[in-house]
Structure formats: structure tokens, C-alpha cells
Structure 1
Amino acid sequence: MTEAAAPLAPQASAPGQRGAVPVGTLAQITWASGSFATGALFNAMALFALFVMTSFLGISPALAGTIILVARLYDGIIDPLIGALSDRTRHRWGPRRIYLLVGALALGASFTLFFNLSALGLEGTAAAFAATALLLLYSTAYSIFTIPYLAMPPDIAPDYDARTRLMSFRVFFLLAGVTAGSAGAPLLVGAMGTPEAGYRVMGTVLGIAAAGLCLIVFFGAARLPGPERPGPPARLDARELLLSPFIDTARVFANAPFRLLTLVKLCQLAVLSTVLACTPYFFDLVLGFGPGEIGAYFGLFSVAGIVSVPAWRWVIARAGKRETYLVLLVLYGAGLASWFAWVPGEAAWLFHARAALIGAFSTGTLLCALAMLPDTMEYDRLQSGEGREGVMSGVFTFVENVAGALGPFIVGLLLEAGGLITARGPDVVQPQAVLDFVQWGVSIVPALFCLAALPLLYAYRLDAAMLEEMRETRDAAP
């Protein structure tokens, strides 16, 4: 048996209810700033984890990709549990804040330690075990922070359009984090004396900074409204608690809009993780560039994305979330596929044009997905009469982690098939098959994931009118 804390008095009406208390812009921005930390760590880990394991820890590419896959699939067990726990928690800090605190500290520590593994002189089996343990810890910490964090928007933003505004703040900080993780991190690595020292410094700086930013969200969340729902029994049966996340997961997957959006998100994040895992090899082996050029590319990518956010908000308001999302997925896939046409001596302006356009299209798809997620949560609440936002954000985070593992796993298999030589040195020449597979990994493979998402998104039908009709039906009920 486990004991729950005393129920917390509700702070505001639930979304969609009359009398919902609006949340000020500053409070929304403070909440959204947490995405800077998660975006920075997610992108830096996705960009460099496979590369560091194969280049500095002596781990084969197939094994390194499998380690990442195992660590992320492990979230399939813990994510629903964390989501269910956050839904059931009744604490004087609110149902989510305690998880934000624990997650913030563990996230920074695990990220820092992973990128400092090479300092221990581990190689082979010992290095593989150590990397696996730290990636499991990192995945746990990421889920502990992110799942309760993602469950908060339905209570912060009271209606359909307000969520687009809230998520535009989140996308801004997320893109700033992407800039830090995919542009700033490579620049920091390149600024050090050796690449190995650069990765250690990068891991330490980014890990500590991310933990600090997550703590700001923890303190700021004290002023945010929480869900209004009856508290659970004071004592919970441990067996019921362990089984309920998986029962709840099956129930929320009966929510068709949520199920479809989750599968679309799986494809979209698989695009990102494949590109990020392949990028260090593509820039190093195919383009002949160093970490600094990776930073410059993703810097332009991120700036274009940030600048495009107001334009995408305008388009979404007029064309609709789903319709905008469909068009952007096509453009995103086409932009990525264009890397397959790259040839030595290509004009520099094409390189920069790809960075800017792909960055803008990627940002648009991200904003659409994030703006639609709280809608599916409200749909579930209106349909079921229950608050299962934690479970839903747990499923969404699990999918994010699985997609984040698919990229490195696929790239690892491609590199293994091509015969990647893991030794580092100026005289190492990689087989032509490795170069060919790397070019496929940054172009055709992610474009196929974009293509796979289109029929799923086309089947999605939830919109503002449907939610309003459901609210009216609920309010008219005796």
C-alpha cells in the first residue's frame, strides 16, 4: 500500500468551464521556458550520443544504436506509470510540481555524466554498460520532468485558440533550446582544444544550465492553476497503481484524435532523430566540415524557425491546424529529400537555403502538433468525464522517446552495414558504402517518415466546432 498526500484545493476551473481564470502572459512565458532546457538536451543528445559512443568509447555502431533504442523503449514501462502518478498526486505544491523538481536535478546530472564517460577511460563492454546505465537514468529523468510538464497546458490555456498562443511561446523557447543543443553545442565542442575535451565541456555546461532552467519552471509553476477534480482515496493499492497506467493507456488510445496525433508525432519525431543522428557523420565524412559548421547550419535552421512562428500562427488561424500541418509535412519532407541531390562543389547558397527552409517547415509542423495535443486532452476529458492528462502526456512522451531512438538505431544499422571504421585519426578512410548510406540517412529515410504521416493526419477530424458542441452538450446535461 502507498499513501497519497492530502488533497490540494483546486486553484482554477478546468479548461472549457465557465469562470476559468485566465493566466497572464508572464506566467505563460515562465512555463514555456522549460522547453528551452528539454529542447537543448533532446537535440544535443540526439545529435551526439551515437557519434560519441562510436568515436570515443569504441562501441560498434549497431550496438550503440541498440543501446539508445533499449533506453528509450524502457520508457514504455515508466512513462504511463509516471503519468498516472502525476494524475493521482495530491500534494500541497500541486499535482505536477514535485516531479518538476526531481526531474530537473536528475536530468542535468545524467546528461553531464554521459558526456564525461570518456574521461574514465572505459572501452568495449565496460563502456557499453556504463553508457546504457546513464542513458536509462537520463530517460527516466526526462520523463519525470516532461510528462507532468506536458500535462499542464489544458489548465493554463482555457480555450482552443488560447492554446495556439500558449504553444507559440513554447515553440519559441523550444527553438531557442534547439539552437543551444544543435548549434551552440557543436560550436562549444569546436572551441575546445580537442573534440573529446569539447564534448566533456559541452555536456557539463549544457547539463548544469538545463537543470537551472527546469528549476525556474518549478518555482514559476506555483502561480499556475491546477486541475479541478476530486482527489483519489487517501490510500492507494500498489497493485492497482501499477496496473492502472496500462489500463488508462488503453482507454486513452480509444480517443481517436489522440491516437492519430500520437502516430503522426511518432513519424515526425523519427524524421528529426534520424537527421540529427546522421548529421555529425554527414558533415564530417561527406561534406568534410567540422563541429563549427554544424553549429552554423543549425543556427540558421533555428533562426529561420523562430522568425517563422508568427507567420505560422497567422496561417493556422485562417487555414486550420490540421490543414496547415498537412501542407507543412509535404514541404518538410521535400526539403529533406533535396539533400539526396547534393554533389561536391554545390553552390553555397543552396546549403543555406536548405537550412532556412527546412528550419521554417520543421517549426511549423512542431507548432501544429503542440497546439493540437491539448485539444485531444480536452476531448478526452469531455468524452470520459475523467482527467487523464498525465497518462496522455506519458503516452506522448513515450512516443517521443521511441521516435528519438528509431533514428540512431536506423543510422547505426546503416553504418554497420556500410562497414564504418570506429577508430579515429587523420589516416582513416571510410568505405564508400558508409558515405552513401549517410546521405540516405539525412534525406530519403526522413522523407519517407514524412510521407507515412500524411494519411494518419488526414484522418484526424477534431476541430474547434466539435469541441464547442461537446461543451454545450455537457453544460446542457442535468
Structure 2
Amino acid sequence: MTAILNSPKVLWAKAGGLAVVQGAISLMWMIYGLYLPVLLQQFGFEPAWAAGLLIVESLLAMLLEPLMGGLSDRTRHWLATRLPFVTLGIGLASVLFYSIGTFSLFGSGFTAVRWLFPLIMVLWAVAMAIFRSPTIGLLGRYALAPHLPQAASLLTFAGALAGTIGIFFGDFLLRLGAGTTFAIGSLFLLVAALVLRHFDPLSNSAKPFPVRTALPKLQQLLPIFLTGTSIALAVIFTRALLGGIESENGLAPIAIVALTHIVTVIPIGFLASRVGNRQTMLGGITLGILCILFFAFTTENAADWLPAIALGIAFSMTVNGVLPYALSMVPPDWDGLGVGTYFGGTALASVLFRLAYPDPEGATAVVLGVSSAIALAVAAFLIYSSRFYRKG
């Protein structure tokens, strides 16, 4: 174990610090999604406002994530640091997130300023987009290319853990109140930034250094973007599918999938480093399609543990590989752009789903399952064919 932790192939302390930031990002988005309809109703907005706000925020993220990632790459070569993007974004996001909770406590009684509330929410989403790609793009510096899945597994674990908190403790967070819950999320992000800064001061060079490679071509970036869209759509469809299945004998399938994902993602990161990231992702997609179609077409014993466990493993094999995949498609000088392009694709998925299914509860299990399977099949095609357009 000591030999693994001391391996120069992965900078575990720095990757761990980055994972804490990823956990904070996921936690904040989970809290935001949990409270959004409640807070909008508190301020007298119709329920449709929640979907509308998320669409606007996703469209902004689709544009800003690649832009901020690319600009941070340029800044790193001019100033030898991405610190301006990371510091500005995290500072704004923390203040605005705390403001959402505070405004919900004191602003609902003032009808004249209630329109400021959606504006604060949109500004917070913009602030999150400013720093996420520049920060997560640091992953490419923390591991050699074949070992990126190992480092990425820490980030995937942290994100999955935050999402699972919403599944098991969502009601508790709602009872806790918006003021306290949003303050916790804001504080956690600030602490995460300090942890990352401790392990990586974000500036390894005293002098700026020039960009050595040209801007990646569209044929390199488009597969990243579309893969992000496809995998994110599959995850969204699958969550909607599993959310409608209840268990009569214990945990619901969605909870089993989430727990399995948490338990298996780090071992699968090591597996992917041995057998290859693309091969692992393609294997996970194949297994995922089979499991999803099982849940879509099976009405009896649909809550069995075995297919839910298999689906959790499939998601670990697939989702853990997305960041290493994005980084493999661009030169190291453009890792922020590569990660930002992937996040931009995931933002488009949210828009497409909400436009196609304004009422997800009205969609049948077969429609959701088949849609998820198709999205995964498209992702598999993109991942397989993109090997012909990899960075040279």
C-alpha cells in the first residue's frame, strides 16, 4: 500500500485535494437542485420557473465551460498559473451561494425585490462555470496519462458521495433550512479550495511559458462534447427510470446503484489503468445497456439487487473514464479546454432532456430505458471512433 501511495505515476495528495473540490461542487449542485422548487415557490414563482432557470443556467454553462477552460489554459501559459480563474470563481460562487440561503430568509417578505432572487441564482451558476473547468483541468497534471483513471476515481468517488447524500439525507437537509444548508455548502467550497491550495499552490513556475501547441481542431473537440452530452443524457434518463421503481424488500434500486457506484469506482479506476480506459468505458456501456433494458422491460422483480449492483458497476466503469477520455483527446497545453468541452456537452444534455420531457414523471419506463440505451450506444460509437482523432 505504501508503494502505491508513493508512486510518482499519480500525485495522490494533489488529486485528493482536487477531489475535495469536486465533492464541494457536487454537494452545492445537489443542495441547489433540492431547494430550487421550494425556494421559488416561497417567492411566489410558478413551478415552471424551476425548469426554465435550469435551462438558462445550462445554456450559459454550455458556452462558458469551454470558454473558461480555454482562457485558463492561455492564462497558465502567460502567467504560469490559473489562479485568477480559480480564485475569482470560487470566491464569487461561495458568496452567491450563501446569498441564496440568506435571501430566502429575509427577502421573501419584500415583493419589490423578489425578482432579484432568480438573478442571484443565475449569477451563482455563472460563477460555478468560471472555475470548474480551470480547476478540474488540473487533473491532467496529477497523473501520467495511463494512470489518469486512478486519479480520476478520487474525483468520481467524491462526486458520487455528494450525490448519494441527496438520496439518503435529502429530507433532513430540507428540514435543516435553506439558510443553514446553503451556508454549509458555501463553507465547504471555501475549505475545499484551501485544501487544494495547500497541496498545490497552482503555480509551479516562476515565469510564464508560451503555448507550444495550436488550438485543438474541431474533430478533436466535437467527440468530447457529444460524448458528454450522450453520457449525461443516459444518466438523466436512468435516474428518471429508477426513480419510479420502489422496492418492497429494502433499498430502492436507485439507492443500490448509488452505493455500488461509490464502493466500486476506485477499484475500477485501477482496473482501467491496467486494461485501458477506452476498453473499460466500452465494457461499462455494454453492461449498462443490458441492465437498463432489464429495468425498462421487466415489471416483476424489477427491484432485484443483482441488476442494480451490475448497473452501479457499469456506471463506475463508464463515468470514471470521462475525464481521462477528454484529457486524452487534447494536448496537455489545453487540458482546461478539453475538460470544459466535456462539461459543456453535459450542460446541453440537461437542456435537451428538459425540453423533450417537461414532465419526466409522465414518461413510461420503456421510453426512458430505450432513450438511455440509445444515448449510451451513441457514446460508445463516439468513444470507439474518436481514437482516430486523438491528439497527435
The TM-score bracket by the shorter chain reads: 0.7 to 0.9
In the superposition, the TM-score normalised over structure 2's length comes to 0.78
Q: CA deviation at 1:222?
A: 0.9
Cα contact 1:188–1:202 (8 A) shared by 2: no
Q: For each residue in 1:388-407, what CA deviation from the matched residue of structure 2 results, as whole angstroms up to 9, or x when unmatched? A: 33333332332233334444
Measured in 1, the distance between the counterparts of 2:147 and 2:313 equals 22
Do residues 306 (structure 1) and 293 (structure 2) align? no
TM alignment of 1:251-400, pairs within 5 A: 251-256=215-220, 258-274=221-237, 278=240, 282=243, 300-341=256-297, 350=304, 352-353=305-306, 355-378=308-331, 387-400=333-346
Q: Is structure 2 residue 70 aligned with structure 1 residue 107?
A: no
How far residue 375 of structure 1 moved from its aligned partner, in angstroms, is: 1.6
Tell me, yes or no, if the aligned pair for 2:295 and 2:369 is still in contact at 8 Å: yes
Match of 1:32 in 2: 19
Distance 2:298 2:256 in 1: 19
Mapped to 1, the partners of 2:35 and 2:235 lie a distance apart of 14
Aligned residue type for 2:225: T
**Would you say the 8 A contact 1:261–1:373 is kept in 2?**
yes
- Write the letter of the residue equivalent to 2:92: A
Whether contact under 8 Å (2:283, 2:317) holds in the other structure is no
* Residue equivalent to 2:359: 414
Asked if residue 70 in structure 1 is aligned to residue 56 in structure 2, the reply is yes
- How far residue 365 of structure 1 moved from its aligned partner, in angstroms, is 0.8
Is the alpha carbon distance of 1:274 and 1:115 closer, same or farther for their aligned partners in structure 2, counting shifts above 3 Å? farther
Q: Is the 8 A contact 2:82 2:134 kept in 1?
A: yes
Displacement, 1:268? Answer: 0.8
1:167 paired residue number = 152
Out of 211, 222, 234, the position equivalent to 2:190 is 211
What CA distance in whole angstroms lies between the structure 2 residues aligned with 1:367 and 1:151?
Answer: 15
Mapped contact 2:281–2:321 kept (Cα < 8 A)? yes
From the superposition, tell whether residues 112 and 260 of structure 1 become closer, same or farther in structure 2 (CA, over 3 Å): same
Q: C-alpha separation between the residues in 1 aligned to 2:168 and 2:66?
A: 33
Is the partner of 2:122 in helix, strand or coil? helix
2:119 matched to which residue of 1? 133
How many pairs are equivalent?
381
CA distance in 2, matches of 1:446, 1:53: 30
* Structure 1 residue 461: Cα displacement: 1.3
Partners of 1:71 and 1:224 lie apart in 2 by 31
Q: C-alpha distance in 1, partners of 2:206/2:371?
A: 41
Secondary structure at the counterpart of residue 163 of structure 1: helix
Rounded to whole Å, the distance in 1 between the matches of 2:256 and 2:280 is 23
Contact 2:253 2:303 in 1 (8 A): no
User: What is the alpha-carbon root mean square deviation over aligned residues?
Assistant: 4.1
Which one of the candidate residues 376, 381, 384 is aligned to 1:455?
381
In structure 1, list runs of 5 or more residues that go unmatched. Answer: 1-20, 233-247, 382-386, 416-434, 471-478
Change in Cα spacing, 1:101 to 1:445, as seen in structure 2 (3 Å) is same
Q: Is the deviation greater in 201-210 or in 223-232?
A: 223-232
| Identical pairs, percent | 16
Give the letter for the 2:279 counterpart: E
Q: Check the 8 A contact 1:66/1:409 in 2, yes or no.
A: no
Give the C-alpha shift of residue 186 in structure 1: 0.8
The alpha-carbon deviation at position 167 of structure 1 amounts to: 1.5
* Cα distance between partner residues in 1 of 2:180 and 2:292: 31
Q: Deviations over 1:246-265 (max 9, x none)?
A: xx8xx534343x43133112
CA contact (8 A) 1:100 1:145 kept: yes
Alignment of 1:127-206 (within 5 A): 129-130=115-116, 132-157=118-143, 159-180=144-165, 182-183=166-167, 185-189=169-173, 192=175, 198=177, 201-206=180-185
Structure-2 change in CA distance of 1:126 and 1:444 (3 Å): farther
Q: Deviations over 1:357-404 (max 9, x none)?
A: 3332222211121222222233xx5xxxxx333333332332233334
Per-residue deviation at 1:299?
Answer: 5.3
Q: Deviations over 1:296-327 (max 9, x none)?
A: 86654333113212442354245432222122
Shift of 1:73: 1.0
| TM-score, normalised by the number of residues in structure 1 | 0.66
| 1:244 match | none
Which letter maps to 1:140?
V
Question: What is the distance in 1 between the residues matched to 2:368 and 2:207?
Answer: 46
Give 1:146 shift.
Answer: 1.0
Matched AA of 2:60: Y
Hey, what's the Cα distance between the residues in 1 that align with 2:80 and 2:150? 24
Aligned equivalent of 1:239: none
- The 2-side partners of 1:124 and 1:300 are apart by 44
Unaligned runs of 5+ in 2: 1-7
Q: How far apart are residue 124 of structure 1 and its match?
A: 11
- 1:35, 1:177 within 8 Å by CA — same for their partners in 2? no
Counterpart CA distance in 1 for 2:282 and 2:334 is 28
Note if contact 2:18-2:136 (Cα within 8 Å) is conserved in structure 1: no
Aligned residue type for 1:323: Q
Matches within 5 A, 1:44-123: 44-45=31-32, 47-48=33-34, 51-52=37-38, 59-89=45-75, 94-114=80-100, 119=105, 120-121=107-108
Q: Is the 8 A contact 1:274 1:410 kept in 2?
A: no
